[in-house]
Amino acid sequence: MPDYLDDLRFAHVLADAADAATTDRFKALDLKVETKPDMTPVSEADKAAEELIRGHLQRARPRDAILGEEYGLEGTGPRRWVIDPIDGTKNYVRGVPVWATLIALMEAGEGGYQPVVGVVSAPALGRRWWAAKGHGAFSGRSLASASRLRVSRVSRLADASFAYSSLSGWEEQGRLDGFLDLTRAVWRTRAYGDFWPYMMVAEGSVDMCAEPELSLWDMAANAIIVTEAGGTFTGLDGRPGPHSGNGAASNGLLHDELLGYLDQRG
């Protein structure tokens, strides 16, 4: 089995470059922000970070395909880098430090492309998380200064902490009743949002999280980090991996109950 460690090291190089670009424009008074056709914001920093990452990839990995939020799919083949230049753009443009660059490498296999490397870098929080298939998940300042991540062992909903992004998406999909029932069944809920709850699941500080509508670039890096930390990442339909258009992550012990509440429509 490939060890993917060279790819992981390169993903860190990509994250370093993106961090330099995004932090330079964070809280800039002249930051330019546009509205995309789906009515979500995109900043000049989103575009610049993705262009920077694509440039590095085209030079160092010319045979690999690239899928990014801002510029779509380029190239073909069994290996595909999946990029979200700024996950949490709404936070970024308002000066909230909870945003990150998400970088994943996916490889073609049974059931389609699956993530084999993931890096989530949140420079305004001073945090970075990463994983490679078969090598575990870690967090730290660098590859040489890192702590291994492991999910929690909480096995009862009544003792569990559940994180989410917002209520509106659940309501729009007719899943709000199940969502609210879940919030009443658990010990604690918090709306941390975006990449962060998945990283907390991997760290063991949160036991489960879910979002009703996501794109592949929102999930690919998160999925490999959660699973390499010993957790479970699926769609709300229970399908493993980041391909269902939504996401649910847990320590594994609570996953069936999590889906039982959320995979139902009113």
Q: What percent of the chain has pLDDT over 70?
A: 92
SS3 call for 210: strand
What's the confidence (pLDDT) of residue 189? 97
pTM, full prediction:
0.94
pLDDT digit string, tens, across residues 222-259:
999 999 999 999 999 999 999 999 999 999 999 999 99
DSSP type of residue 171: H
Q: How many CB atoms lie within 10 A of CB 260?
A: 12
pLDDT in tens, 1-35: 678 999 999 999 999 999 998 988 687 656 677 66
pLDDT for the residue 41:
60
Mean pLDDT for 189-213 is: 96
